[in-house]
Amino acid sequence: MNFNNTWRNYVNKPTKSKGQLLGEQIFREYKLLAEGKKDDAKKIAPITAHFGTVDLIANQLRTMLGDKGVGKYIVFAAREMEPVYQNNYVPYTKEDGTTGYTDRPNREFRYMTGHLEQIMTAIREFHASQNRLEQRDINKYKALMKIL
């Protein structure tokens, strides 16, 4: 191989952009922030977390808005779902000291799914119109929906 071919290969080789590394770092930070907010949501809404709904909400938000959306909206969604679970389940302490939940009589499970859909719709609409609002943090708002 001669010098000209070596030089041509070196010049034509794509270089790594520093901007790309910065973008990857930002995405990692969004992911870490989202996981931290998910842990906060589990502490705020323990019954919702017990039944795995916080993880479901995180997955739906990640699909809808990405990791940044999870960090912004998961605490609100979990806080809004918690009263629905409180109306349908009663906590009790097991013999080993852990907490369990029993069904309340006359519970309305079908409302739980509908309520989750309403919350996700409210988040989607808030996200689309937040630039026009005075208060752009969804967590500053009180409950958006009446509990069914």
Of 110 and 60, which is predicted with more confidence? 60
Q: What is the pLDDT of residues 78-124, one digit of tens each?
A: 999 998 888 888 888 888 888 888 877 666 666 778 889 999 999 99
Q: What is the pLDDT of residue 99?
A: 80
Is-above-0.85 flag for pTM? Answer: no
- Backbone torsion region of residue 130, taken as left when φ is above 0, otherwise alpha when ψ lies between -120 and 50, otherwise beta: alpha
CA separation for the pair 98, 95 (Å, rounded): 7
Which stretches of 14-134 are assigned E, i.e. beta strand? 89-93, 99-103
Q: What is the pLDDT of residue 113?
A: 81
Q: What is the pLDDT of residues 119-132, one digit of tens each?
A: 999 999 999 998 89
